[in-house]
A and B are shown apart, each in its own frame.
Chain A
């Protein structure tokens, strides 16, 4: 297992270096002078331009700048935001829990609904449930989630008035960030109604974010189950006289879960992309909205390091998925 882990890690090194090159290169190699872009349409005097370039280090050779960037990276220095003048790392850590909270809720919704729906659809193949749920999954898979979010706002916030339109919690409540997770912090604060407010703010964004993963997981679970149900060992188990329920839960489901777990893990990248749209629609103060705001403000140190952090997170999650896959499927590990 250790060798498997080491091999995987070694394999990631060139990819990680590539990611740093891409994140770094965006600002510098592609057409467009970052200082001019920062100055915006008003323009900038040549003296001020030179001064800013020197201050930000853009006048030095690319390679020096890149090594500087890498060096900073290893010391946990991701640069300073041009707009807020705060370290990018601090900003990231302050906003990250909001995105994690949203993403965890979304993946829970997607898994807890998607897996059972997929299993039932596979067992009752061709039934009305199968047809309706798989049509629903295809619609979900095709959904422009930014529009879906707006529809939910129109219906639940506008027509019914059940949920708030934006933010993480009502302004009525004040309490300290303990964990950064609003659901936990609101409970810890002990204020009446705070937790309910946090839940009502979280519910629509997480449903929107869960939509595509839910569809993918349901479809994948169904097809994995169908494949496994046709295997010899399932037929053998049935022939031995085991009940249908036992065959499904013990023999089929366990094996079908192997590709499904991979699918769930791979949804993390999808979630990060979805978070950009979801957080924008619901004004959710997380990483996605931060990236969008930074891109439109041309805050390049933030864009560069944010890109890097997000890619690194996706990479680490994919590694964990790979390792889990190796753990539950020995055939891969010993290959």
Chain B
């Protein structure tokens, strides 16, 4: 097919040019670049957590309970951000907590993306009753407030990190299914698809190789949004005692344990929440930048 174009470009060149164009638009959004830098730091923190953390995150120093951060009068240089009620180093717990948040985000988005794309492709491509049935099921999931549905799912499956991730992924998956379906419906009668069909492409090839790559932009944006939402919701589940279980240094779980000390030890409450906020904000900033860079309709609007 490429023979018809006046100037042949290798797929490598095309990809490089697309990436360059993407980076050009992404870079213009200062917030997005800041978000990307923070996110990169977060990833580095998670990867190198054992090297960075000054202490074992679940080690309890019984002679150092509720020590305030180092810069306060009673603080100690051994525990830069202080210790919690059973003497665990908060800085180390926050550093290891980054692993949980990123892991949760990646797993949830992967499951939701995979399931959603599959359902959306089937619904959009086959139409008629397949579409009707699948989309009504998605409507049912969407009718429940997501956190509530995830909570009940976890309550039935049993509290824990794995079940929390599965529950959140199930709840997010309809958004991907709807987006994929809408994109497939818009693309499937376009000329290039018909051309591929006439050339003898089978259904699976049409769905996955021909149509899907052209539906990716909105999915990538939604994936970023879902990533930050997954970090928030899993922290909320942890806070409600339904997510990662103590002594895991998950940020939401840390907050739940800190709740009773809110009026006595501000640092055990303030810092884990700040970590959640900064991570979610960074990802959302990146999401805004991605949307501007990937969606030609919104470009420079």
B77 at the interface (CB under 8 A from A): no
> Do the beta carbons of A276 and B156 come within 8 Å of each other?
no
- The smallest beta-carbon distance between B137 and chain A, in angstroms, is 7
Q: Cβ of A151 < 8 Å from any Cβ of B?
A: yes
Residue of A142, A280, A295 near B155 (CB, 8 A) is: A295
Judged by DSSP, the binding face of B is helix
B139 A18 Cβ-Cβ under 8 A = yes
The contact of A154 among B149, B156, B262, by CB within 8 Å, is B262
Closest A residue to B285 by CB, please name it: A138
Residues of A within 8 A of B241 (CB): 296
* Cβ-defined contact, B139 with A15, below 8 A: yes
Closest approach, in angstroms, between the C-beta of B62 and any C-beta of chain A? 26
A269 touches B255 (CB 8 A): no
Contact of A146 among B143, B144, B236 (CB under 8 A): B236
Known: A292-B240, A314-B144. A144 touches B235 (CB 8 A): yes
Answer whether A226 and B301 are a contact pair too, CB < 8 Å, given A31-B157, A150-B255.
Answer: yes
Is B146 interfacial (CB 8 A cutoff)?
A: yes
Contact with B along A129-169 (1 / 0, CB 8 A): 00000010011011110111011011001100000000000
Interface extent on B, as a size class? 35 or more
Chain B nearest CB, measured from A314 CB (Å): 6
CB nearest to A148 among chain B residues: B273
Q: How far is it, in angstroms, between the C-alpha of A139 and the C-alpha of B269 when the chains are bound?
A: 18
Rounded to whole angstroms, the CA-CA distance of A31 and B163 in the bound complex is 13
Minimal beta-carbon separation of B196 from chain A (angstroms): 31
Known: A146-B239, A146-B255, A153-B262. A307 touches B148 (CB 8 A): yes
Is B136's CB under 8 angstroms from A138's CB? no
**B262 near A32: Cβ-Cβ < 8 Å:** no
* CB–CB B140/A144 < 8 A: no
Chain A positions within 8 Å of B156 at CB level:
26-27, 30-32
* B270 interface hit (Cβ, 8 Å): yes
Using an 8 Å CB-CB cutoff, how does the interface string of A6-41 with B read, 1 for contact, 0 for none?
000000001100110110001100111000000000
Q: Is A203 an interface residue (CB 8 A)?
A: no
For the complex, is A311 an interface residue (Cβ under 8 Å from B)?
yes
Neighbour of B277 across the interface among A144, A150, A303, A314, CB < 8 A: A144
B147 at the interface (CB under 8 A from A): yes
- Give bound CA distance, A18 to B132, whole Å: 13
* Residue-wise interface mask of B (261-301) relative to A, using a CB-CB cutoff of 8 A (1 in contact, 0 not): 01100100110110011001100110010000000000001
B15 within 8 Å of A (CB atoms): no
B104 within 8 A of A: no
Question: How far apart are the CA atoms of A230 and B148 in the complex, in Å?
Answer: 40
Q: In the complex, how many angstroms separate the beta carbon of A147 from the nearest chain B beta carbon?
A: 3
Closest A-B pairs by Cβ, 4 of them: A147-B273, A18-B140, A273-B147, A273-B145
Q: List 17 A-B contacts (CB under 8 A).
A: A19-B143, A19-B144, A31-B157, A142-B284, A144-B252, A146-B235, A146-B252, A147-B276, A151-B269, A272-B148, A277-B240, A292-B240, A295-B151, A303-B155, A307-B144, A311-B144, A315-B143
